[in-house]
Amino acid sequence: MAMRQLSRTKNVAKRSTKKYLEEPLYHRLFKDGSSEVSVRQQLNQFLKSSKSVFKWEVGDTIKKLRSHRLYYPALKLSEAMEDRCMNKTVSDQAIHLDLVAKARGIAAAENYFVDLPETSKTHLTYGSLLNCYCKELMTDKAEGLLDKMKELNFTLTSMSYNSLMTLYTKTGQSEKVPAIIQEMKAENIMPDSYTYNVWMRALAATKDISGVERVSEEMNRDGRVAPDWTTYSNLATIYVDAGLSEKAEKALQELERKNDHGDFLAYQFLITLYGRLGKVTEVYRVWRSLRLAFPKTTNVAYLNTIQVLVNLKDLPGAETLFKEWQSNCSIYDIRVVNVLIGAYARDGLVVKAKEMKDKAHRRGAKANAKTWEIFMDYYMKNGEIAQAVECISKAVSIGRGDGSKWLPSQETIGTLMGHFEQEKDVDGAESFVEILKKGTDNVGVEVLESLIRTYAAAGKKSTAMRRRLKMENVEVSEATKKLLDEICEE
C-alpha cells in the first residue's frame, strides 16, 4: 500500500513538472546566441507551446533581455505574462512602460500610462515615464512630470533627479545641474554615486575643473557614498577631455585599485582611456589582466581593444589580436572585422580591406551598412564616384542593425549632388535620388534644388518636376523657381 502511494506521488510530481520548461527560460532563449533574430525565434516557440514558467523566472528573463537591449522580445514576454494570468505588480508595470517606450515609442508609453488603473499610478510608474522623457530629451515634459510628482507628494529619490540632470547635460543645459543639487540637499534627498558623477560631468561641460575636484572631495567627505571604480572612470574621462594627462593617469590608477572584483566594464574603460592617453604599454597590460579574469573573452572586448590599437597606429598589434580573436570566436562578428577594414581603407590598402570583407562573408558575417560606409569613404576620398554610389546603395538597402534606416551624411549627399550638377549628369543625379528615397520619406529641399540645377545645366526638360515638388511638399527658393520655369517648359 505504501509503495503504491509513493509511486502515485512520483507520477503526480512527474506530470506536474512536465508542465514547466526543463531548462531556465533565459537559457532557452539564448541557446542559439544573443542575436535578436534567434531570441525571437526561441521566444515564439515557447509562447506557442503549452509549457509554463514561474513568474520570477519571467522577471529574470526580461531583465536579461533588457541588459542585451532586446527590447521588443522583452516587451512581448512581458505582454505574455498577462495572457498567462500572471498578475503584474506596480514594479512590473513600471518596467513594462519602459519597454513600451523603447520598442514602440514614447506616444505608446504615454497611452499605456494613461490606461493604468489609478492604484498603479505611483512613484514607480511616474518615475518610469519621467525616465523615458529624459532619455528622449523631452525637457518640457520631463520638468512638467516632475512638478506633478511633487504636487502628488510622492517620496522622491535621487533616481528621478539623476534622470533630469542627465537630460540637462545631454541637451547643453549643464548650468541647471547645480540648482538641482541644491534642491536635493534642501529636501534631504541622499545623493548616490550616479548623482555625484553626473554633477561632475555637468561642471566639466562648463570647463569648471576646479568645481569637479570640489565635488570629488565632497563625495569623499560624505561617508555615505563610497567612491567606486565608476567615479574614477568618470574623473579620468574628464581629465583626458581637458588634456590633464597626469591627473588622468592618477585617476586611472585609483580606478584599478577600486576594481577589486574584476568588473568587465572597468577593464574596458581602462583600455579605452589609456589608449586616449597614448599609453600603449598600459593598454597591453590591462588587456592581459582582462584575459586572465575572463578567459572566454567576448567579441565586444576584442572589438574595443583592437579599435584602441588601431587608433594608436599599432596596426601590427591590432592584426595579432584580430588573429587571436578569429581563432577563438564562436560568432564571426562583422563589427570586429570592420575595425581592420577601416584601418586598411584609411591607409589606402583597399585590396586588403576587400579580402577581409570577402573572408568574413565566407565565415558567415555579411557586410553591414558600416562596412559599406567605410568603402564609401575610401571611394569618396579618391574621387571614385560610381563606386561610392554603389556602396551607398548597398548600405541603404541593408539599413542599420537595430532595424532603422541608414543614409549617408548631409555632407556626402551634398558633395555627390554637387558632382552630378557640375558634370551635368542628370541620369546620375536621378539614380542617386532614387537610392536616397529608399532610406527616407523626404530627400530634402537641398537635394531637389540641386537636381533642378542639374537639369538646367544639362539643358534637359522635366515636365513632371513641379508635380514631384508638390508630392514632396517642398518649397524651393526664388532662384530655383526661375530654373524650374526653364526646365518645365513644353
Query: In whole angstroms, what is the distance from residue 125 CA to residue 210 CA?
Result: 38
The answer to whether the CB of 113 falls within 8 A of the CB of 104 is no
pLDDT digit string, tens, across residues 344-380? 999 999 999 999 999 999 999 999 999 999 999 999 9
Cα→Cα distances 367→20, 64, 358, 379, 397, Å: 40, 28, 9, 17, 12
Task: Count other Cβ atoms within 10 Å, centred on residue 229.
Answer: 21
Cα→Cα distances 48→23, 51, 127, Å: 17, 9, 34
Q: Given this model, what pLDDT does residue 489 score?
A: 66
The answer to whether the CB of 145 falls within 8 A of the CB of 133 is yes
pLDDT classification of 79: cutoffs 50, 70, 90: confident
Position 15 pLDDT exceeds 80: no
Share of the chain above pLDDT 70, in %: 92
Q: What is the mean pLDDT of the chain?
A: 89
Q: Given this model, what pLDDT does residue 21 score?
A: 58
pLDDT digit string, tens, across residues 458-471? 999 888 898 888 88
Q: Given this model, what pLDDT does residue 415 score?
A: 96
* Start-to-end C-alpha separation, the chain: 103
More confident: 317 or 14: 317
Task: Count other Cβ atoms within 10 Å, centred on residue 88.
Answer: 15
Residue 20 bridge partners (DSSP): 52
- What is the arithmetic mean of pLDDT over 170-182? 94
Q: What one-letter code names the amino acid at 155?
A: T
Query: In whole angstroms, what is the distance from residue 198 CA to residue 168 CA?
Result: 10
What is the pTM (predicted TM-score) of this model?
0.80
Q: Given this model, what pLDDT does residue 23 score?
A: 67
Cβ neighbours for 62, distance < 8 A, ≥ 6 positions apart: 74, 77, 78, 95, 99
Q: Given this model, what pLDDT does residue 6 score?
A: 41
